[in-house]
Amino acid sequence: MTNQIHIAAQYLATAGINFLDKKADDSHTNLGFNTEKGSLETWPLNDNGYRISLDYQNFSLSWLRNEEQLGVIFLDGKTHKEIVTWIQNVTEVLERNTPYSYALHYDLPYEKITADFTFKKPAQEELTRLVKLRTIAQNSLEAIVNELNLDTTIRVWPHHFDSGGFITLDKPENVSVGFGMAIPDTLVADFYLYTSGYNGHDGISTEEFKKLSLGNWKNEGFKGAINPMKGLEEEKAIAFFKETILTYKAL
C-alpha cells in the first residue's frame, strides 16, 4: 500500500507548485520528513509559516501554522475531489491571486487520479513500517552529511518518492553524486539504499570499483550501489553511504 502514501504526498507537492516560486531543479515541490511526528511536510507556503503535512500513522493531511494545527482531514474513504476542496478552502488564507489546483507536471506509476478516486487507509503495521524506514533513511542521511561535511539538504522528492541528497564534487570536475533511499521498483522489489555517481549527465561505470562491505555495485542500466533496507539499522545505513560516497570522492 505504498502507493496510497505516494499518491497522498502529491497534495503537498501540488501545494508547492501552486504557492511557491518555481525553481529550475523542482526543489519547490520537494518535502521534508519530520522524524518526531512521522510526517511529510511542505516548505513554508508563506511568510507566516503555513504548511501542509501528511501524517503517516493517522493517514491524514493537516494544515499547520508553524507547529499549530489549524485543520485536519482524514483520508480513509475520502475522494480526490473532497480532498482538493478541503485544500482549496484552507489555502484561502494564503490570499493568493490564483486558488489551489491539482496539476502535476510528471506522471506517477499508478492509475490516473480522477475525481472519484477514493483513498483506503493501509494497515496500521504497514504505516508503522513505512515511518520506520523513512526515519532510518532520514537519520542516516543527515548523519553522513554531517560526518562528511556535504553541502546538501535531505528531502523527499514526490515524483520518485525517494529520500535523498545530491552533491557536486570539487574533484574530479563535473562529477556529482546522488544518494538516498528509494521505494520498491524494477531494480529492487523492496525499499533500498542507493548511491550513484555522474559525470555530467552520464552514469559513472562501477566495473573497476572495489567490492563493498555492505550492498553491491550495479553497472547495467543503473550505475551505482544498492543495499536493500530489510533488517537494516541506522549504523549500517551510515556505513553504506560513507563507503560508497567516499569511493566517488576518491576517483
Q: Locate the domains of the chain by residue range.
A: 2-122, 125-249
pLDDT (tens digit, 9 = 90+) per residue, 200-237?
999 999 999 999 999 999 999 999 999 999 999 999 99
Closest CA to 27 of 113, 154, 181, 182: 154
First to last CA, the chain: 40
Q: Print the SS3 string covering the chain.
A: CHHHHHHHHHHHHHHHHHHCCCCCCCHHHCEEEECCCCEEECCCCCCCCEEEEEECCCCEEEEEECCEEEEEEECCCCEHHHHHHHHHHHHHHHCCCCCCCCCCCCCCCCCCCCCCCECCCCCHHHHHHHHHHHHHHHHHHHHHHHHHCCCCCCEEECCCCEEEEEEECCCCCCEEEEEEEECCCCCCCCCEEEEEEEECCEECCCCCCCCCCCCEEECCCCCEEEEECCCCCHHHHHHHHHHHHHHHHCC
Q: What are 125-149's pLDDT values in tens digits?
A: 999 999 999 999 999 999 999 999 9
Residue pair 169/176 in contact (Cβ under 8 Å)? The answer is yes
List pLDDT tens digits, range 152-202.
999 999 999 999 999 999 888 889 999 999 999 999 999 999 999 999 999
pTM: 0.94
